[in-house]
Amino acid sequence: VCRIAKEADVVLVAVSYGLSPEHPYPSQYKQCLAATVHFMRNAEVYGVDPSQIIIFGDSAGGNFTSVVAQQLTKRRDLPKLRAQALIYAGVQAMDFNLPSYVQNATMPLLSQETVIKFILQYFIKDPALKSDILKGSHVPDHYRLKYRKWVSADNIPEKFKRGYREVPLAPYKPEVYKQFPELLEETFSSIFAEDHIIKQLPETFIVTCEYDVFRDDGLLYKKRLEDCGVKVRWFHAEQGFHGVLNFSDLGIFTFPAGVEIVDSIIDFVKGL
Ligand SMILES: *[C@@H]1O[C@H](CO)[C@@H](O)[C@H](O)[C@H]1NC(C)=O
Ligand SMILES: *[C@@H]1O[C@H](CO)[C@@H](O)[C@H](O)[C@H]1NC(C)=O
Ligand SMILES: *[C@@H]1O[C@H](CO)[C@@H](O)[C@H](O)[C@H]1NC(C)=O
């Protein structure tokens, strides 16, 4: 992160948001939004031009970044964001059996099951709900109809599928959905925001990693934005895995994919 600040020559502010269980959903995105709004209003104090603000996050931070960018489109009292950068972010909690979820289901650091476990912890819900969520029983039929055009293996380029066979969502169970309908709302699953919001998003940088369950979330969000006319730049780390950014500055334990991602972010920022 220091390298991004130095080499891209930017003022960098990190939001330290509260964690669950003391701070369950939705406090994270709200804290990030409040911090961003505060910074936008006071940017000049930090020598920053308020029209040049970029928000950025990796992993869960990428989820919050995508939600904050959408919420900011509703604010007429603030300058437009210059850009957002989403590094292996999850953007949907409807289908946990997309090709990347199936292909890299057992990856260390973030497996298919860990994603669901984190979600349940985040909402402070019964861990026994895991298998129903994994299978998609929490998704009402009207949402399946509405959202399939945005979240489906059909929207994943062929070269990423590698013999993938579609796993249909299991039958809907209202009692599971009722536990936390927020899962499918845009403040958690940002890909489900309406077109008029998506169309107002700033230029976006998306990083995906080959060995990451969230790879396809990134690919789907890229398509969703492009279909709405948003300018997207994309970097795919062929050797990357979820969390690799944390291994970009560890001496002999450095993973080249982590360095590549940092380079790509610097490049994006300098190109704006
Ligand atoms: C946001 O990120 C967290 C942590 O990586 C993950 O558990 C969650 O599934 C993500 N949200 C969505 C909507 O994918
Ligand atoms: C992750 O997915 C890739 C294909 O995208 C596959 O080659 C690799 O073996 C998978 N890794 C694990 C640990 O499942
Ligand atoms: C990266 O490291 C930070 C600090 O140790 C940790 O909080 C975060 O969960 C890690 N990110 C990923 C995606 O593993």
Residue 108 confidence class, pLDDT cut points 50, 70, 90? confident
- The pTM of this model reads 0.95
> Is pLDDT of 211 > 90?
yes
Summary mean pLDDT of the chain: 95
Of the candidates 112, 160, 103, 104, the residue with the CA atom closest to the CA atom of residue 136: 112
**Averaged pLDDT, 152-165:** 95
The backbone torsions φ and ψ at residue 238, rounded to the nearest 5 degrees and listed phi first, read -60, -35
Quote the tokens at residue 160.
Answer: 């990423």
Ligand number with the minimum distance to the CA of 191: 1
> Is pLDDT of 224 > 80?
yes
Strand arrangement, sheet containing 83-87: 54-58, 83-87, 203-211, 232-241
Q: Which residues line ligand 1 (CB under 6 A)?
A: 59-60, 63, 90-93, 115, 118-119, 188-189
- Say how many CA atoms lie within 13 Å of 160 toward its Cβ: 27
The pick from 100, 101, 102, 103 for probing ligand 2's pocket by mutation, whose C-beta has the most ligand atoms within 8 angstroms, reads 103
Quote the tokens at residue 126.
Answer: 């019964």
Quote the tokens at residue 157.
Answer: 């380029």
Going by alpha carbons, the residue nearest to atom 14 of ligand 1 is 90
**Averaged pLDDT, 167-186:** 96
Going by alpha carbons, the residue nearest to atom 6 of ligand 2 is 103
Going by alpha carbons, the residue nearest to atom 3 of ligand 1 is 60
Ligand number with the minimum distance to the CA of 249: 3
Of the candidates 81, 55, 95, the residue with the CA atom closest to the CA atom of residue 219: 95
Contact 68, 29 (CB under 8 A): yes
Residue 253 confidence class, pLDDT cut points 50, 70, 90? confident
**Averaged pLDDT, 209-213:** 97
> Is pLDDT of 254 > 90?
no
The pick from 107, 114, 209, 211 for probing ligand 2's pocket by mutation, whose C-beta has the most ligand atoms within 8 angstroms, reads 211
Residue 119 confidence class, pLDDT cut points 50, 70, 90? very high
Active site residues: 59, 212, 242
**Averaged pLDDT, 84-102:** 97
pLDDT above 90: percentage of residues in the chain: 92
Question: How far, CA to CA in Å, does 239 sit from each of 208, 222, 261?
Answer: 10, 20, 11
Q: What is the pLDDT of residue 134?
A: 97
Q: What is the pLDDT of residue 194?
A: 97
Q: What is the pLDDT of residue 15?
A: 94
| CA dist., res. 136 & res. 144, Å (int) | 10
Check if 254 has its Cβ closer than 6 Å to any atom of ligand 2.
no
Residue 86 confidence class, pLDDT cut points 50, 70, 90? very high
Q: What is the pLDDT of residues 21-79, one digit of tens each?
A: 999 899 999 999 999 999 999 999 999 999 999 999 999 999 999 999 999 999 999 99
Contact 82, 203 (CB under 8 A): yes
| CA dist., res. 200 & res. 74, Å (int) | 9
- Expressed in angstroms and rounded, the spacing between residue 184 Cα and the centre of ligand 3 is 25
Of the candidates 26, 27, 2, 30, the residue with the CA atom closest to the CA atom of residue 14: 2
Residue 249 confidence class, pLDDT cut points 50, 70, 90? confident
**Averaged pLDDT, 225-241:** 97
Going by alpha carbons, the residue nearest to atom 11 of ligand 2 is 104
Q: What is the pLDDT of residue 74?
A: 96
Report the 10 Å Cβ neighbour count for 77. 7
Going by alpha carbons, the residue nearest to atom 4 of ligand 1 is 60
> Is pLDDT of 1 > 80?
no
Q: What fold is seen in the domain 2-270?
A: Rossmann fold (3.40.50)
